[in-house]
A and B are shown apart, each in its own frame.
Chain A
Amino acid sequence: MNVDSELEASLNVIEIDSTLEAAKQPEAVILREVDRCGYGEDATFAIKLALEEAMTNAVKHGNRQDSARRVIVRYSVTRERTVILVQDQGDGFMPADVPDPTRPDRLPLPTGRGIMLMRAYMSEVHYRKGGTEVCLIKRNE
């Protein structure tokens, strides 16, 4: 499943500064919707985790906490599924180039686990626009 143009046009939009404090704002809004739509504890945990990871990556790695750059969050929460697009204004990256953080030589590193966690906890994760946008989908099963 991917995001069709009709859904994309109907998404809610939140734009924030490139700070970790500001990055909490869309999380609060989206999790309220997730709760309202009756998602279970596990699905809610997964969405919160994936959104934290996506926002952290956008703020720290994408925009490098540059105050001139913004993070754009677009989302839709229904009883069937949650779709979240997080876009930064950085240079992008190749997700395939990110090493497996569970490799023995990578294990003792404090960073590099975000993408793995998003993929493990969401139904689908897609990178778009040269790696500047991540699309997170969680089905409410």
Chain B
Amino acid sequence: MYVTDRPLEIDVERRGEAVICKLAGSATMDVCHLLNDRLLVLDLGDLEFICSLGLGGLVATYLYARQHQGRVVVAAPHPAVRELLELTRLTTLMPIFATAEEALRG
């Protein structure tokens, strides 16, 4: 291994029931805060349907994040999914943003 100035990259990949978090580049002192993620953006832009079990999964994710001092937000839900989130008032736990980029800007 040799040292480069390649910036830190973090990719998340789903494999079955596991998530692989791939780190690349250099985890240097100036960017290590990126490893302490405190915001999880759930991009629902391609989600066409969700039932109460699915909503429960989102709540479980929220609870896990809260337990670790993190927060969860939702981005770009379809109108029907958005209506479900609003009806169940889960938007009070997980605010909705129009896009993932907007969610990152907070």
Contact = CB atoms under 8 A, between A and B. Distances in A.
Given A107-B92, A116-B88, A45 B56 contact: no
Interface of B (DSSP majority class): helix
A113 B88 contact: yes
A53 B80 CA distance: 16
Range class of the B interface residue count: 10 to 19
A117 interface: yes
A56 interface: yes
B2 interface: no
Contact of A108 (B51, B63, B80): B63
A52 interface: yes
A56 B63 CA distance: 23
B40 interface: no
A80 to B, nearest CB: 23
Nearest to B80: A45
A53 B51 contact: yes
A52 B63 contact: no
Interface in A73-123: 101-102, 107-111, 113-114, 116-117, 120
A34 to B, nearest CB: 14
Interface of A: 42, 45, 48-49, 52-53, 56, 101-102, 107-111, 113-114, 116-117, 120
